[in-house]
């Protein structure tokens, strides 16, 4: 049966408890509505509500002498929960002096009821229309949740920000952020080296666009390189930015911000 609240709308289910089996307003797929115990037959579920939250349930069975009985978990024995066969739920009589009835019920509790298995007949309410409605509701709720998440994200880290969803998704390769903006945002990204280290020139140009050789680089970058600890290393510059990529063979090993030199 469906869970309550949002989880139920999303299609999540749970097993019915004893109170559900006894509640005439609860639909349990594959099973009839609750009926009186006078119509009980072997194989049916017998249940009774106990108080506002509790209940007890068992299976109607037949004794060797042909009389009916109930097989259910007994909490009044040790160890608790042993399956006991007795006449629980089939007993009749008034409440005793302590206000307890023959089946453990109290004043205000409904009489025990039984449900029989009806198979596909009991599944008629699970129509394709109901399934489609649940799917549509689930999709709408999911879309609303995604919109809320991205809305909060955008308000918390508005662009330009290295924590904005646009930059984060650009790093993942699923958002077409302007390359100039992306390289500017890399300055504040403490994890920026992962975008470069271990990559080939072809892979880097696919992400950043043209890489300039030392000969093609602006004069300022050339001066910075010649005065730097990387002088003599193979380097390339990301066009339109202040980033220098240091190579070892055909793979990038460092990303250097060229400023203040």
Provide the pLDDT for residue 81: 86
What is the residue-averaged pLDDT of the chain?
90
The answer on pLDDT for 61 being more than 90 is yes
Asked if 60 and 44 count as a contact pair (C-beta separation under 8 A), the reply is yes
Q: Is the pLDDT of residue 152 over 70?
A: yes
Q: What percent of the chain has pLDDT over 90?
A: 71
- Cα(193)–Cα(257) distance, rounded to whole angstroms? 11
pLDDT higher than 90, residue 9:
no
| Torsion (CA) 207, 210, 157, 188 in degrees, nearest 10 | 110
What is the rounded CA–CA span in Å between residue 162 and residue 168? 7
> Distance of CA 6 to CAs 1, 26, 117, 244, Å?
14, 18, 29, 51
- Domain boundary assignment for the chain: 5-124, 191-257
pLDDT score of 156: 93
pLDDT band at residue 121 under the 50/70/90 scheme: low
Residue 48 and residue 58: Cα distance in Å, rounded? 10
> Region 73-81: what's the mean pLDDT?
84
Give 119-168 as a DSSP string: GGGGGTTS-HHHHHHHHHHHHHHHHHHHHHHHHHHHHHSPSS-TTSHHHH
d(CA 143, CA 173): 22
Q: Determine the pLDDT at residue 123.
A: 53
Question: Which pTM value belongs to this model?
Answer: 0.49
pLDDT of amino acid 10: 66
């Amino acid at each position: 049966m469906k869970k309550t609240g949002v989880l139920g709308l999303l299609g999540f289910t749970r097993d019915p408890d004893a109170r559900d089996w006894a509640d005439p307003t609860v639909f349990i797929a594959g099973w009839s509505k609750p009926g009186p115990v006078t119509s009980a037959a072997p194989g049916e579920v017998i249940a009774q509500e106990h108080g506002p939250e509790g209940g007890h349930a068992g299976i109607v069975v037949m004794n060797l002498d042909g009389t009916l009985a109930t097989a259910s978990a007994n909490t009044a024995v040790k160890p608790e929960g042993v399956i006991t066969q007795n006449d629980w739920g089939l007993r009749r009589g008034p409440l005793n002096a302590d206000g307890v009835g023959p089946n453990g019920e109290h004043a205000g509790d409904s009489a025990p009821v039984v449900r029989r298995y009806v198979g596909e007949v009991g599944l008629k309410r699970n129509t394709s229309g109901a399934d489609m409605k649940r799917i549509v509701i689930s999709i709408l709720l999911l879309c609303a949740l995604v919109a809320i998440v991205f809305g909060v994200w955008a308000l918390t880290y508005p662009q330009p920000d290295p924590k904005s969803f646009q930059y984060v998704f650009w790093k993942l390769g699923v958002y077409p952020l302007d390359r100039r903006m992306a390289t500017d945002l890399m300055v504040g990204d403490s994890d920026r080296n992962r975008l470069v280290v271990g990559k080939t020139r072809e892979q880097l140009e696919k992400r950043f666009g043209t890489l300039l050789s030392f000969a093609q680089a602006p004069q300022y970058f050339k001066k910075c390189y010649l005065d730097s600890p990387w002088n003599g290393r193979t380097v390339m510059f990301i066009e339109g930015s202040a980033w220098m990529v240091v190579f070892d063979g055909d793979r990038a090993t460092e990303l250097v911000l060229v400023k203040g030199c």
